[in-house]
Copies of this chain bind each other. A is one copy, B any other.
Amino acid sequence: MILRIDRLAIELPAPDHPSPNSASAVQELLGGKFGEMSTLMNYTFQSFNFRGRSQLKPFYDLIANIAAEEYGHIELVSHTINMLLTGSTTRGNDPSDTPLEHATDARQHYHFIASGQTALPIDSQGNPWNGTYVFSSGNLKLDLLHNFFLECGARANKIRVYEMVDDPVAKEMVGYLLVRGGTHIVAYAKALEALSGVDVGKLLPIPDISNKRFPEARKHEAKGLHQVMYRMSPNDYREISQIWRGPHPEDGSELRVVDGPPEGGPVPLHPEEPQLTSPIGPDGVDSGMLKDIAERLFGKETVRR
């Protein structure tokens, strides 16, 4: 089971301006083959499907715990997309003014038709995320090798989307995920080493570019964020510390486990887009409607907002 916290892993800055095609590019990091849906679901299923857990508990704990952090990553990417899309069409209440005209030439029509200018589990070309992206062979060494590769592939995608999108909200999000994804690469390298004795970490970085080249990642690494594995559970998954220990393969700094999630930042408020009838019709949420709702919720007599 999970408990959900109404916070994001970091605070996201306001975007410079609406940018639908950037939002489309960022979708690759959400619903692409190497997007956060994939990392989340791969580790989630591998944790469900773990055989021989009693004998190999540290490995189980590691995979299950990373899965939990990934949930926070689909969240972060989704809110970035939402912020890039907010305000990208003309707000108003007259549908015959063609308020969504700009959307017609945008790369991603689903953002304007299927959703209310918000994220979907699709990639940058509009293809849906799907379950063939999940690998769960049951052989531990093979699953760990897969995860190590998957994280490296995800890192390549993040770097390229970072290079495509010139907006602070996207750069901030990717910078953070490069660091956190980096810890997952190291974690799976350490796990492979524990299993086989091979120092796979020496292959890093893959691709051959350091996180230090990205200002928005560098600032987090300067604070040691790349050395931290969060234990995303009130009481469980404590044996991750048997794998997450020793020196970081890239800078030799000491790895450490932090109990509990990062402090994080607030979940952004996404304003109404009345021309998309989101969340309500073209005239927006007015106080009369709220009063009606409140009366239904609390009974007529008790409403006094």
Contacts and interface: CB of A to CB of B under 8 A. Distances in A.
Q: Which of A24, A89, A159 has the most B CB atoms < 10 Å from its CB? A: A159
A301 interface: no
Given A139-B156, A279-B139, A202 B197 contact: yes
A31 interface: yes
Given A131-B128, A196-B203, A290-B55, A236 B4 contact: yes
Interface in A180-209: 192-200, 202-203, 206-209
A247 interface: no
A7 to B, nearest CB: 6
Contacts of A145: 148-149, 152, 203, 206
A270 B51 contact: yes
A15 interface: no
Contacts of A126: 125-127
24 contacts: A1-B5, A1-B7, A1-B261, A1-B264, A3-B234, A21-B104, A33-B132, A41-B121, A45-B120, A49-B118, A50-B270, A51-B118, A56-B279, A89-B163, A114-B157, A116-B136, A118-B136, A119-B136, A120-B136, A142-B156, A142-B207, A145-B149, A213-B282, A245-B297
Given A159-B277, A164-B112, A234-B5, A297 B49 contact: no
Interface residues of A, number: 157
Q: Which of A71, A99, A132, A134 has the most B CB atoms < 10 Å from its CB? A: A132
A171 to B, nearest CB: 8
A280 B140 contact: yes
Nearest to A85: B49
Nearest to A282: B209
B3 A233 contact: yes
B33 A99 contact: no
Nearest to A215: B96
A273 interface: yes
B110 A107 contact: no
Given A116-B137, A135-B153, A138-B276, A6 B105 contact: no
B146 A28 contact: no
Nearest to A280: B208
A129 B128 CA distance: 10
Given A100-B160, A208-B281, A232 B3 contact: yes
Contacts of A146: 149, 153
A119 B68 contact: no
